[in-house]
Structure 1
Amino acid sequence: MRTVLVSIVIGMGLLIVLGLVALVYGLIQKADNPDFKFFDLSKNAPGIEEAIKDVEVPLVGNKSSQPQTNVSAPAPVKAFGDMRLEIPQGYKVVETDLDSQRLVLRLINDAGINKLMVLDINTGAKLGGLSLHPAQ
């Protein structure tokens, strides 16, 4: 009985060592080639990657009966050169927020009134604005 337990412990130790060797090998290969995969499952199911890309996940609480449309990838950002942006008189920029297509500037004046300006990153054009006034 004791030899069986010793054999099992030695076997598990060898499996741990082999697993660590495989992990180090995978990390080294991944560092050299970001597309490296130990197991390429696309050979077993040739169309699975394209099918996964077409799957749409519905938004939580979206109860509209309108059909979902595929959202295209955002256009790459193009250089638009140096631009001059007119900020309303008496306001100063206190915060900015950026996503792939828009830049949002939060402006504030001495009276405490906030304004939001939304700009298109690709063209630099002003898309719109929003004034936030304190409640009366």
Structure 2
Amino acid sequence: MKKKTNKDNPKTSTRNLVYAYLTIAALLVTATALVYWINHQQLQPSIGYSPDEIERPVEPSLVCMVNDAYMGKPQIPVPVNGKTYYGCCEMCVDKLNNIESARIAIDPFSGNQVDKSEAFIVVTNTQGAVTTHLRKTKNNPLTQNL
């Protein structure tokens, strides 16, 4: 009498085929998730600033100093205590006039406070419109020639 093998059983063949398809699908999902995760990690902005993130200096008049955003066009000048700040709208003008903290930034290299009207302002490459205010000092290689 001939013994039946698993190869001859149609249920086993179908089950093996389903397992093979499920394994391939799982591998594809895993590979897709891995590629997405790798690309997503590269697009995340960094938490701090380093000298190679500095792209270019900008005119202070083109920056909303409340939002720290490069606007690309002249903003509303706001004279306060003999210094000129810039805002993009009436709300920002009001904040610059009345809230001292809106006129102050933190230098990312030294950690010191810097007056935005006296700062060296650059656009960083984190989203292209974010600005960083740097204190002009002789020791800062980015601002020593200003």
Fold shared per TM-score above 0.5 = no
Give the TM-score band, short-chain normalised.
Answer: under 0.3
- Structure with higher helix content: 2
